[in-house]
RNA sequence: GGGCGAGUAGCUCAAUUGGAUAGAGCACCGGCCUUCUAAGCCGGGGGUUGUGGGUUCGAUUCCCGCCUCGCCUACCA
């Protein structure tokens, strides 16, 4: 509602400025006044015009207000303060707009909503259990996908799997050397773990940490040999068709399945799992290399430290070309850019960024090659596909997106920028413009949390406010452990409250609350804030948390249950605009109007979330709405209200709150329990 | 050295992208369960927005300097 009203007002204001002052404004700044007594929409436009028109802002504001005239949906316009123009909505009409159903954010405001949007998230190396950092990634990505879909975009969700990287190689080295297992024995182990209900990703978590230590645990000579073995293993895995590669495939596939199971606990699903192995074997890079050379993005370096490499100039680095070293008598700059990014090494192998460029050309449908596709994992309502050298004949098509979002942590912003730069250099400016590095900061542990978990902390780390987690060191909180712990805590509370006589129902509710708490916790921080993880905060269910919002939903449902009616009936019986106007006006009804107005903000918030790639805005909106409802709930007792007209109105208000809260929660991937 | 991000209440974070009196949660203190669920509500104390300048009607937000902190910056993958 509010989004529509803002657009209506903006259009009128532009017309007024044109008529009165012959001014063309691209956009009019509109904002929400700090207090309802100052109206619902405000604009400081008069301040901006003061200099240009050589008039006092207050005078301009008055002239504009006079010129606006009557506008559908608005009650009046006033000048306040030094020159603000405040717009007051026709509350009855506004409430009816909110009640009818919230119009979705206009697809016009979306990036390429007409085509496919591709969101890549999760992308955990398949060599160990997922940890809390991965949870933030997946929850952010999944929520953003829900937002895009709610706004009308067609979205494919991808989870990139680096199954041939050094991290997988490390675990394979662990199996071969520390565990001394053959491929057949690894198979047996996998079956054994499955039979006992144990988690292979947990097993690898420890083995990975042990192997990492082992690399540096011997004499200098031994360590050199171990490093060599690591490299050899990596190459064997890349080439495939050998026992080492077989072990890698067994392990990475089993761990991948575990990751999908973990994420499914949070309601997170994927459409496609592109794997590094296929990017290698289907020769994506070779196709990209030709294009990169043709476009001149890559050039062959003949001198300096990068001699013999194909390199790409970094943006902005051309300014400081380094001086030719070793010959001070040289007359200055030689034009060697030692800061250039190496894409192909002097030994002919391609770097990670090179492969990533090829992969992203595929994402935009620019590579001229495609994966094979196989079914991999079945969800209740969809199939998840995985890349294959030769796939099934019947399959959906992925890639060829018109806009992409890569949910990757902030530490990767440099390589991400390299890929974007390469696209731009190849002339794909439109694609580069619709390439979003959906960046976020890491989840770290507070020193206290690390100590609780039994890790030894250095004196230096103790002084810090947070300590970075490390899969290599086996330092971190595993995702499933956290989820289990959350469910145990909520289950104890649900049991103590006797929420339901049936244990199965209590378990279900406990899970919904636990997941709600976790997802909200990961979403309430804005992306570039480091989360210093602490069990105390994550296990909290009071205040600004998921359960607080879920609790509001449950309370509303109870009102309808005890009142023997339904939200649908309450909305169907909504009064005429004139009566609504009366019930929404006056000091004693300001809190009710605040609730309706907040409900009407939804599309505005959705648009803002997508424009800024920031789901935290919706999390905050949901919380504020729940707060508004709690306020309303304690002020007005609905079921004992004697005036039938007012009671019907209060019920309709509750119905709106329910619809908006449950809807916002669903977009955050949080379920609304029946009881708490 | 260079690049990016951050510094806001005791703690953890917001602030509609330059707007009106800088807001929440936690913690602390004091109230509220015979009324639709107390995972809740009401009230209270708490701030020189790191610092010094600048830009302007107006700065937490933009620019410059300085101080702290984090991350990134290999022909490893």
Q: What is the 3-state secondary structure (H, E, C) of A544-556?
A: CCHHHHHHHHHHH
Range of the domain at A552: 480-667
- Say if residues A570 and A652 touch (Cβ distance below 8 Å): yes
In the structure encoding, which two tokens stand for residue A601, read together?
């903000």
pLDDT score of A427 more than 80: yes
Residue A173, CB, strand B, below 7 Å: no
Whole-angstrom distance, CA of residue A599 vs CA of residue A91: 13
Q: What are the tens digits of pLDDT across the range A387-402?
A: 999 999 999 999 999 9
In the structure encoding, which two tokens stand for residue A502, read together?
């049936």
Judge if A639 and A491 occupy the same domain: yes
Residue A82, CB, strand B, below 7 Å: yes
B72 C1' closest Cα residue: A411
Judge if A515 and A626 occupy the same domain: yes
Confidence of residue A321 (pLDDT cuts 50, 70, 90): very low
Judge if A489 and A583 occupy the same domain: yes
Residue A181 lies inside a defined structural domain of this protein: yes
A59, A89, A119 — which closes off a domain?
A89
Judge if A546 and A641 occupy the same domain: yes
Residue A565, CB, strand B, below 7 Å: no
Please, what's the largest Cα pairwise distance for chain A?
Answer: 97
Residue A540 lies inside a defined structural domain of this protein: yes
Whole-angstrom distance, CA of residue A622 vs CA of residue A356: 37
CA-CA-CA-CA dihedral for A440, A443, A447, A453, to nearest 10: -170
Judge if A82 and A170 occupy the same domain: no
Residue A423 lies inside a defined structural domain of this protein: no
CATH number of residue A36's parent domain: 3.30.1360.70
Residue A598 has φ and ψ, to the nearest 5°, of: -60, -45
CATH number of residue A548's parent domain: 1.10.730.10
Helix axes A590-599, A616-635, angle to 10 degrees: 150
DSSP-derived 3-state class of residue A163: coil
Calculate the angstrom distance between C1' of B44 and CA of A155.
Answer: 50
In 3D space, the residue among A588, A570, A584 whose CA is nearest the CA of residue A648 turns out to be A570
Residue A487 lies inside a defined structural domain of this protein: yes
Q: CA-CA distances (angstroms) from residue A194 to A200, A206, A207, A607?
A: 8, 17, 18, 45
Q: CA-CA distances (angstroms) from residue A110 to A139, A606, A611?
A: 21, 11, 8
| CB count in 10 Å sphere of residue A128 | 30
CA-CA-CA-CA dihedral for A414, A420, A421, A427, to nearest 10: 180
Judge if A192 and A82 occupy the same domain: no
Q: What are the tens digits of pLDDT across the range A433-457?
A: 999 999 999 999 988 888 888 888 8
Calculate the angstrom distance between C1' of B36 and CA of A14.
Answer: 47
Residue A430 lies inside a defined structural domain of this protein: no
A223, A244, A268 — which closes off a domain?
A268
Residue A471, CB, strand B, below 7 Å: no
A53, A69, A89 — which closes off a domain?
A89
What is the pLDDT, as a whole number, of residue A161?
A: 97
Number of domains chain A is built from: 3
Give the DSSP H/E element, type plus range, for residue A408.
Answer: strand A403-409
Strand B near-CB residues (< 7 Å), A 517-536: 524-526, 528-532
Nucleotides of B under 7 A from a protein CB: 3-6, 11-21, 23-27, 35-37, 39-42, 56-58, 69-77
Judge if A604 and A493 occupy the same domain: yes
What's this model's pTM, rounded to 2 decimal places?
0.95
Calculate the angstrom distance between C1' of B77 and CA of A424.
Answer: 25
Residue A122 lies inside a defined structural domain of this protein: no
Average pLDDT, chain A: 92
Judge if A520 and A620 occupy the same domain: yes
Residue A299 lies inside a defined structural domain of this protein: no
pLDDT score of A108 more than 50: no
What is the pLDDT, as a whole number, of residue A326?
A: 38
Residue A96 lies inside a defined structural domain of this protein: no
Whole-angstrom distance, CA of residue A195 vs CA of residue A567: 48
Calculate the angstrom distance between C1' of B56 and CA of A371.
Answer: 57
End-to-end Cα spacing for chain A: 31
Dihedral sign computed on CA atoms, order A256, A167, A531, A439? negative
């Amino acid at each position: 509602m509010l989004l529509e009203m803002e657009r209506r007002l903006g259009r009128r204001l532009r017309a007024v400025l044109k008529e009165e002052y012959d001014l063309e404004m691209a956009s009019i700044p509109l904002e929400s006044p700090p207090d309802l007594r100052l109206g619902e929409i405000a604009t400081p436009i008069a301040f901006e015009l003061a200099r240009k028109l050589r008039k006092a802002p207050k005078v301009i504001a008055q002239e504009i207000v006079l010129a606006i005239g009557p506008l559908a949906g608005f009650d009046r316009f006033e000048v306040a303060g030094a020159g603000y123009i405040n717009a007051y909505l026709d509350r009855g009409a506004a409430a009816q707009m909110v009640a009818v159903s919230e119009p979705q954010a206009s697809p016009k405001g979306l990036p390429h909503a007409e085509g496919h949007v591709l969101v890549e998230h999760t992308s955990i190396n398949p060599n160990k259990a997922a940890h809390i950092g991965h949870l933030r990634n997946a929850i952010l990505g999944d929520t953003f996908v829900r937002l895009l879909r709610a706004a009308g975009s067609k979205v494919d969700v991808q989870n990139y799997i680096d199954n041939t990287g050094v991290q997988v190689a490390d675990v394979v080295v662990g199996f071969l050397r520390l565990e001394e297992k053959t491929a057949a024995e690894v198979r047996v182990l996998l079956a054994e773990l499955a039979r006992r209900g144990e988690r292979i990703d947990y097993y690898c978590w420890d083995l990975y940490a042990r192997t990492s230590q082992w690399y540096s645990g011997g004499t200098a000579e031994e360590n050199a040999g171990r490093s060599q073995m690591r490299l050899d293993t990596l190459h064997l895995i890349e080439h495939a068709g050998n026992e080492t590669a077989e072990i890698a495939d067994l392990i990475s596939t089993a761990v991948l399945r575990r990751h999908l199971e973990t994420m499914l606990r949070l309601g997170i699903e994927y459409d496609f799992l592109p794997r590094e192995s296929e990017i290698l074997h289907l020769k994506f890079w070779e196709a990209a290399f030709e294009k990169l050379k043709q476009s001149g993005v890559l050039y062959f370096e003949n001198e300096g430290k990068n001699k013999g490499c194909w390199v790409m100039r970094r943006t902005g680095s051309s300014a400081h070309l380094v001086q030719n070293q070793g010959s001070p008598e040289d007359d200055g700059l030689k034009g060697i850019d030692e800061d250039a990014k190496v894409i192909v090494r002097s030994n002919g192998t391609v770097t990670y960024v090179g492969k990533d460029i090829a992969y992203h050309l595929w994402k935009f449908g620019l590579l001229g090659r495609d994966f094979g596709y196989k079914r991999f994992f079945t969800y209740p309502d969809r199939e998840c596909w995985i890349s294959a050298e030769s796939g099934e004949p019947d399959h959906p098509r992925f890639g060829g997106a018109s806009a992409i979002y890569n949910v990757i942590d902030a530490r990767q912003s440099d390589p991400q920028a390299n890929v974007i730069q390469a696209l731009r250099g190849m002339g794909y400016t439109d694609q580069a413009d619709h390439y979003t590095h959906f960046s976020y900061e890491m989840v770290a542990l507070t020193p206290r949390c690390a100590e609780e978990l039994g890790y030894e902390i250095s004196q230096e780390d103790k002084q810090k406010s947070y300590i970075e987690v490390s899969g290599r060191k086996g330092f971190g909180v595993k995702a499933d452990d956290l989820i289990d712990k959350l469910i145990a805590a909520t289950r104890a509370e649900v049991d103590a409250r006797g929420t339901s006589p049936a244990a199965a129902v209590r378990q279900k509710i406990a899970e919904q609350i636990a997941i709600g708490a976790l997802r909200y916790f990961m979403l309430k921080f804005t992306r570039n804030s480091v989360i210093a993880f602490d069990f105390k905060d994550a296990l909290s269910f009071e205040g600004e948390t998921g359960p607080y919002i879920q609790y509001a939903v449950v309370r509303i449902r109870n009102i309808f249950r005890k009142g023997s009616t339904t939200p649908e009936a309450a909305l169907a019986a909504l009064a005429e605009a004139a009566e609504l106007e009366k019930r929404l006006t006056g000091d004693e009804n300001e809190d009710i109007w605040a609730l309706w107005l907040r409900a009407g903000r939804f599309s505005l918030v959705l648009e803002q979330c997508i424009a800024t790639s920031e789901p935290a805005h919706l999390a905050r909106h949901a919380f504020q709405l729940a707060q508004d409802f709690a306020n309303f709930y304690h002020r007005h007792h609905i079921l004992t209200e004697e005036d039938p007209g007012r009671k019907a109105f209060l019920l309709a208000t509750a119905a709106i709150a329910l619809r908006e809260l449950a809807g916002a929660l669903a977009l955050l991937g949080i379920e609304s329990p029946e009881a708490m």
